[in-house]
Amino acid sequence: MGRKKQVSIQDVAQFAEVSPQTVSRVVNDSTAVRPHTRQKVLNAMEALGYRPNYAARALKHGRFNNIGIVLFNITTFGNARILDGAVEAASEFGYAATVHVVNHSSEITLADIVEQMKQLPVDGVIVVLEQRVGDFDRFRPSKELPVVLITEKPSPHCPTIDADQYGCSTSAVEYLLKKGHRTVYHISGPSTSRAAESRAKGWRDVLQAHGIPVPPTYIGDWEADSGYEAGRALAHEADCTAIYAANDQMAYGAIEGLKDSGKRVPEDVSVIGVDDSLIGTVPRLSLTTMRMDFETIGREAFAKVKLQCEGEYVPTNTKTLIPAKLIQRGSVIDISQRQE
At residue 144, the pLDDT reads 87
CA 112 – CA 125 distance, rounded (Å) = 13
**Taking the CB of residue 36, how many other CB atoms lie within 10 A of it?**
7
Give the separation between CA 125 and CA 41, rounded to whole angstroms. 32
Let me know if 284 is exposed, middle or buried by CB neighbors in 10 A (0-12, 13-18, 19+): exposed
pLDDT tens digits for 84-102?
A: 999 999 999 989 999 999 8
End-to-end CA distance of the chain: 85
| CATH of 66-163+294-322 given 3.40.50.2000, 3.30.720.200, 3.30.930.10, 3.40.50.2300 | 3.40.50.2300
Query: Three-state SS for 292?
Result: coil
Please state, in angstroms and rounded to a whole number, the distance separating the CA atoms of residues 306 and 274. 30
Residues 205-232: b if buried by 16+ CB within 10 A, e if exposed: ebbeeeeeebbebbbbbbebebbbbbbb
Report how far apart, in Å, the C-alpha atoms of 244 and of each of 136, 141, 215, 225 are. Answer: 29, 38, 12, 16
Query: Which segments in the chain show pLDDT lower than 50?
Result: 1-3
> What pLDDT, on a 0 to 100 scale, did the predictor assign at position 25?
84
Kindly give, in sequence order, each residue whose CB lies less than 8 Å from that of residue 49, ignoring residues fewer than 6 positions away: 7
Q: Are both 9-52 and 165-291+326-339 of the same fold?
A: no
Q: Where are the domains of the chain?
A: 9-52, 66-163+294-322, 165-291+326-339
Model pLDDT, residue 308 = 95
Specify the CATH number of the domain 165-291+326-339.
3.40.50.2300
CATH architecture of 9-52: Orthogonal Bundle (1.10)
pLDDT in tens, 315-338: 999 989 999 999 999 999 999 877
pLDDT the model gives residue 107? 79
Whole-prediction pTM: 0.80
Tell me the chain's radius of gyration from C-alpha atoms: 25
